Structure 1
Amino acid sequence: MGPKKKPQKGNQQGGPVKMTRKEKALAKKIERERWREVARRMEQERLQKEVEAVAKAKEEARIAKETHDAWVKAEEDRLTAERNSMKEFYDWRKAEIIRIEAEAKEASDWKRYLESSRLPHASNEAALNTFLDVMRETFDQELEPLMETLIDIFMVATGAEEICLTREQKGDAEGVAIYRSYMQRLYDLADWRLDQTTAYLLHRSHEYWRDKQQNIFCAKAQNWKLAFWINHPKNPRFRMLDLPEVDVAMNLPKQFALANVAIRLQHRMADPITKSKNSYMAIGGTFVIDVLGIPPPSKIVKNWTLDQVSSTLSSLIRIGYPIPVIGQATPAPGAVLPIGVVFFLPDYIIHLNANPEVGWWDEEEEIWQTDGVTDILYEADSRKVSIQTTKAKTLAVIHNRVRQFPYLSWNIRPISEQGAVMTLVTPLLTFTIEIGIGWCKLLAPVFSECTSFAAEEVPPKVMLKRFSKCGIHLLPSDDDAEHIKATVKDGELERFTCLDMAFAAPAFTIASSKWNISLDKDHCLVRLLEVPDPVAPPTLEKSKVVKTLNYTIKGSALAELSEKADSYSEVLLTEHHASLLLALKGNVLDESLQKVEKGNAAFTECVKDLAYALRLFSFGP
């Protein structure tokens, strides 16, 4: 027999060889190492690809940035070159405006010299400061001279306000601040003079009552009214205070009958300087009710007149309403009995509502409030206003100052190379304004309330402010957009657009685009239509050659845009240019461009000032 054979691993049928535990562990280890190597290589490849992708992205970004920067620089260089090419035009225009304004000022100064007014003109700051100082050296002891003084002060204040408005037109922020300060000082001066006379009158009121049985004093001058009721009689049945001398009546609650108080009423034809933080504004001046304390009477002892030293000798004790009672809590607002007041709207007020709103001035919040003023009745024929109020404060007929915004449409059509007519359509009215060399005037609607000044040719903002005081407010500001649907355009862009489009006024109808309101703050749209003959101008609605300009801060570009389309779709036809004079070159008649280039500078400046005062792009369609 031969040697014994070792038993073979695996089964007898040739199956896989069974591995020992160590062999299995070794095999698993080798497999893990293999997969780790695969994973490591894959991770290396992934990281390498990421590095390459980042490098590629950086390179692409660098190339894109260099390309963009090169394009931006080329654009800036091109626009700079265009602006430089316009420098001669701008310099000529500036010199023309200075010359024309100097001539206008010389004529105005000569006219004032011939009129030789006793009041200082607000443009003369030295005379204005002297007036402010001298007027604080004394006070009026009678109501009639006081009324003359107050009217004089507010006439000077109106002059300061109109200079402030012209400074705003020119963008002179420093000048605006100076004249707003003058206006505030003049208003404060008027209050001081009124309070000094009031304190003097109250101090002497005991004498008037003792000698003449007089406790009511009234004065009226133009539309200004002032009245005092001093409760010396202490009549428990007294309720109705009728003051026909100043067209005012009051129905007083019984608390006044025995109270040691005086009531001062004043209807001043000056609106507050401070703008209300809500959307209300006053029209027709303010109607002020002051409840004041009466100083103690003088005593005569052995031919000596003895006055008790009191703050009311030089100042006032403002009691207010409801009248406080010692030992009693202030009544709840609902428990305060209202004061009945009847007064009349001034004849220069344009009142568009069937029934006016009346509010009171909240000094703390700086807004016009309407709570506490009820039962408002208005008789249109007599312009009589009747109210019930628990507020013995500054009252006024108020209206919503944004009711004319946003504008529905506007256009400026040339009537000559030095004149144009603007048509402005608002939600309430359609206005027609003539524009001339440095002046504007309203042609329509014709308001009988404003005939005293409607035909005057004055700077745009002065005209708009005068009508605002009458109830036609067309001077929006950025904060008004909070109360309506409007897109406030970038300030620099809107000023540039108004200036640049105004150049076209001698030869083109300039008009609004309905798509302007849908664009963001960095774009403005203007439509232009050539007018070869102002006597027979083409119409925007029928013409097929209306051009649209898209304005950005860079300049203007011609665009293809339909006003009849249902949605906004614009295609720029040209690149942006520094001025429409360049954007239109080759796209309009040479004769039209020549009119634009030679247009009267003061006329186009007035078009610009009116357009920006109205804020046509922020508050237009």
Structure 2
Amino acid sequence: MHVCKYQRGLCKKFDLLSSLLRMRTNPILRCHLSGRTNRGTMPPKPKSSAKGKGKGKLSKAEKEKLKKEEEAQQVREEEEERARKEQEDNERLERERLEREEREKILAQEHQRHAAELAQLASILEGNYTALHHVREARRAQAKWDRYMLCDGSPDPTIPAEINTYINLWKDDTKRNEIHSVLKESHLTLKLICELEFLLEDTPEEQLDENTERRYEETIIELQNILLNKLDEATVSLLKDASNHADSETGNLQFTKGNKDIVLMLWGNLVKNPRLKSYSFEEQDFSFDLPKQLALSDIAIRVIHTAHDHFSHRCRTFKLKRVRYYPPPEEEEPFEEPPPVEGDGEKDEGEDGEGKEEDGEATESVVGGEEEKKEEAQEAAPPTPAKEPEPAKTPAGEDEGLEEEEYEEEEEDYELEDEDTVDLRAYQVLGGVIHFDLLTMPPQPKHIKNWIMTQDTSNELKRMPYGSDSIKLGASLAGTMAMGLTLDPKAAAANAAATEALGAPPLGVTVKLPDNVLLCEEPQMVYWWEEGKQWRLDGFHDVKFEQEERLLSFKTIKFGPLACIQDKHINMPFQSWELFPLGTNHARFTIIAAILEVEFEIKDHLCCFRQAGDGERKPELESISNKWMEPPQLIETMKKAGVNVFPEEDSKKYVSVCDKDEQTEGAAYDQMALTASHFAYSWSKWNAETSPDKIILLGCEKLVPEPVKDSKEDWQVLLTSKKQTSKLKMGEYDEEFSEAFAEGSQFHADLYHMVNDLCSEGGHERMKNTEFGYINAVHKMLEATRVIAFS
């Protein structure tokens, strides 16, 4: 029992100790325990205030001393801060000075390299131009020698005596007025006209003076007029002998004769049968319908279809209006009388010569004194740095202001007379000219027994007047609708009824347009107004076009030269373009126009046209495809075929284009041509979003004729301007445009040196082997199409 009590006592003590330990470890319990244990004790008594009086507060002297110490410490800190700022400013200024010196050094090196690159490019272009100039001069000299040695009896159109003799002899020759001789001689006449036109286009301005140019133009007009006169005389001969050429079935004159340049179709109303009101020249796919009053008249219908157009160049809207520059009048300096010389006033009239000599000596002395003063002033003035030699071609935009300061512009007024006048700056004649004439039949020979009686008449071709010049059939075509659309049936019927009431019912005409001319839209007929020297619209109604058969039908009361016109700029602006190298001196130039996809192959100094794309091939263009020509000849051939992708200087008035600085654009074409043997170029969508003085292109080196992938790694975005050229960091398919240049790239003065920096050794080797004839051909095609501004 005692043991158990003892054990229970030990357990209680152990529990008490454990609880005390827990309370010590717990902060709350510890605080409670400490409060409870100190509950009965008294806090220590504070010290008496009397014993330590005055020791807790500072004296006035101590406060002043402490204040001075604090102020001194603040001054020291401010001095240290000011010294630290001065040191930082000095370090910053030194750093900025070093950076400025380094930047100026870099800019000086950049400027020096920029000038060197410009000088090198100008030297290359000048060398190519000189070599090309020598080749052209040699070609002209050889052509002149070949013309001199030509012994085929043809005259030299550049020699007035020879060409005048030829014209006069043919004019006075009345024995060769039959149509066979005229058609044969027309070949030589057209050849002489083409030779003169080529000389006007090919001869440089400095070698062709104004008098010679005017003489060539007058000779061309004389040759054209005599050709028309000879065709009239041949027509008169046929009409006088119409009964011998009458058709056995109808009894009327039916005659067709021609060559590749001129086709003559003649119909004469001999029997005056009212039921025979229409006739068709089946070989030429030309037909006409006569009103009843003409079917009963002594008339003849003559149709001459010429492949050439000898009328448009006479119109004042044919050539581009030029801007005339007039130099401002020179300001006369006020005359300053020289100081009087002693004894000068005492000279009498007999000593004028001596007085003049003395005046001259005095003037020379004054001038000499002024020159000495100028030399002294120049010696006193600081020396001006010598100007650097100007390159062969000045950078774009630097000399624009000089012309404005030195010259005044005066533009000619080219306003059209009315809405029916055709603007030949916006439209072109296609398919040649159709001369549709209403003629008077001369008296026919009469057979009386064994006699043939022929009335003696003049050999002048008599045209029958029809209708009135005041009648404007279909005049509302130009006033109410766009060119190329037809009048609504009600308006056409009203016009036809009005003209018939005036005694001039319209004639129906159906003509097949040439197979070698591409029509990109519905054609529109026009007639030539000789008095006003212009093509006009107000002569046709009920115009219909059958595209598959290429038959154009209309009704008209107008006789004379007729033609079909088409919009010059129907294929503009272009959608995209690409210049792709196929080898040394060999490239492919592709343009996706508004309607067609055109491809040019350029090799050496020649070019050829090909129909590109997977679409339907145009049979009208087979005659001009895959034929190698000089660039100017190819351009003219394509225009005549209806494929006009060659804008003119004023085409921006008719087409929405990317307005670019012309000098910057021309410089880009020069440099693209230099590198076209190894570097591919393409259209960029960002070009239209930049300022006029900046051009955006895609470029890529291509030594293997494989298509370029549309990726950022292959196509590189290049920015060129009149100041510098750089490779941009962005890609063609980025969402936003940025002019940040690519890392690791370098600025260059021009596109040529930028491409050199991006190319490999193989590209440089190709560029060294590129001939100037190929460079000129590429440049001609780029300059003629102006793809940078018209895409």
TM-score, structure 2 length as denominator? 0.57
Among 129, 132, 141, the residue aligned to 2:177: 141
**Aligned twin of 2:604:** 437
Q: 1:454 Cα deviation (Å)?
A: 2.8
Please say which structure displays the higher CA radius of gyration.
Answer: 2
Counterpart residue identity of residue 277, structure 1: D
Give the superposition deviation at 1:612.
0.5
Q: Label 1:567 to 1:104 Cα distance change in 2 as closer, same or farther (>3 A).
A: farther
Contact 2:723 2:749 in 1 (8 A): yes
Partner of 1:240: 278
Cα–Cα, structure 1 residues 175 and 546, in superposed 2: closer, same or farther, change >3 Å?
farther
Conserved 8 A contact 1:298-1:306: yes
Q: Which residue of structure 2 aligns with residue 277 of structure 1?
A: 423
Letter matched to residue 138 of structure 1? W
Is structure 2 residue 564 aligned with structure 1 residue 418?
no
Specify the alignment match of 1:466 in structure 2.
637
CA deviations on 1:420-443 (whole Å, 9 max, x unpaired) are 111211122222211011110023
2:120 to 82, 85, 101: 85
Write the distance in 2 (CA, Å) between the matches of 1:615 and 1:291: 45
Q: Give 1:582 shift.
A: 2.7
CA contact (8 A) 1:238 1:254 kept: no
Aligned amino acid, residue 198 of structure 1: D
Distance 1:468 1:211 in 2: 39
Q: What secondary structure sits across from 1:391 in the alignment?
A: coil
Q: Deviations over 1:234-271 (max 9, x none)?
A: 55555213334544221012342355554331111114
By how many angstroms is 1:499 displaced?
1.0
Shift of 1:547: 3.2
Look up the match of 1:345: 513
Which residues of structure 1 form unaligned runs of 5+? 1-71
Q: Aligned ranges for residues 35-434 of structure 1 at < 5 Å?
A: 80-98=115-133, 126=158, 130-131=162-163, 133-139=165-171, 140-161=176-197, 182=216, 185-186=219-220, 188-199=222-233, 201-202=235-236, 205-206=239-240, 208-209=242-243, 215-222=253-260, 224-231=262-269, 235=273, 238-244=276-282, 246-259=284-297, 261-271=299-309, 273-274=312-313, 275=318, 277=423, 279-292=426-439, 313=459, 318-322=463-467, 334=495, 335-336=498-499, 337-353=505-521, 356-361=523-528, 364=532, 366-367=534-535, 369=537, 372-378=540-546, 380-381=548-549, 383-434=550-601
Q: Are the aligned partners of 2:577 and 2:683 in contact in 1 as well (CA < 8 Å)?
A: yes
Separation of aligned partners in 1, 2:472 and 2:631: 50
How far did residue 373 of structure 1 move?
A: 3.7
Distance 1:338 1:146 in 2: 32
AA partner of residue 562 (structure 2): L
In 1, the alpha carbon distance for the partners of 2:206 and 2:717 equals 32
Instruction: Provide Cα deviations, 1:502-548, integer angstroms capped at 9, x if missing partner.
Output: 111111002222232344543333322112x224x461513515333
| 2:651 pairs with 1:613 | no
Deviation at 1:450, TM superposition (A): 4.5
- Whole-angstrom CA distance in 1 between matches of 2:210 and 2:226: 24
Q: Is the contact made by 2:473 and 2:557 (CA closer than 8 Å) also made in structure 1? A: no
Q: Is the 8 A contact 1:524 1:550 kept in 2?
A: yes
Counterpart in the other structure of 1:8: none
Aligned-residue offset at 1:412: 1.1
Distance 1:259 1:76 in 2: 85
CA 1:134/1:463 → structure 2, altered by over 3 Å: closer, same or farther?
same
Q: Are the counterparts in 1 of residues 524 and 564 from structure 2 also a CA contact under 8 Å?
A: yes
Separation of aligned partners in 2, 1:230 and 1:199: 16
Is contact 1:223–1:346 with CA below 8 Å preserved after alignment? no
CA–CA distance in structure 2, aligned partners of residues 177 and 553 of structure 1: 39
8 Å CA contact retained: 1:217, 1:228: yes
Distance in 2 of aligned mates of 1:547 and 1:175: 48
State how far apart, in whole Å, the 2-side matches of 1:177 and 1:512 are.
45
What is the CA distance between 1:396 and its match in structure 2? 2.7
Q: Which amino acid aligns with 2:118?
A: R
Change (3 A) 1:403 1:197: closer
SS in 1 for 2:787: coil
Equivalent of 1:496 in 667, 678, 683? 667
Which whole-Å CA distance do the structure 2 matches of 1:173 and 1:361 have between them?
Answer: 35
Residue 398 and residue 91 in structure 1: after superposition, are their counterparts in 2 closer, same or farther (change >3 A)? closer
May I ask how many residue pairs the two structures share in their alignment? 531
1:347-395 per-residue CA deviation (whole Å, 9 max, x = no partner) reads 3223445x544343456484563762424132625x4433323332432
Q: How far does residue 75 in structure 1 lie from its aligned partner after superposition?
A: 9.6
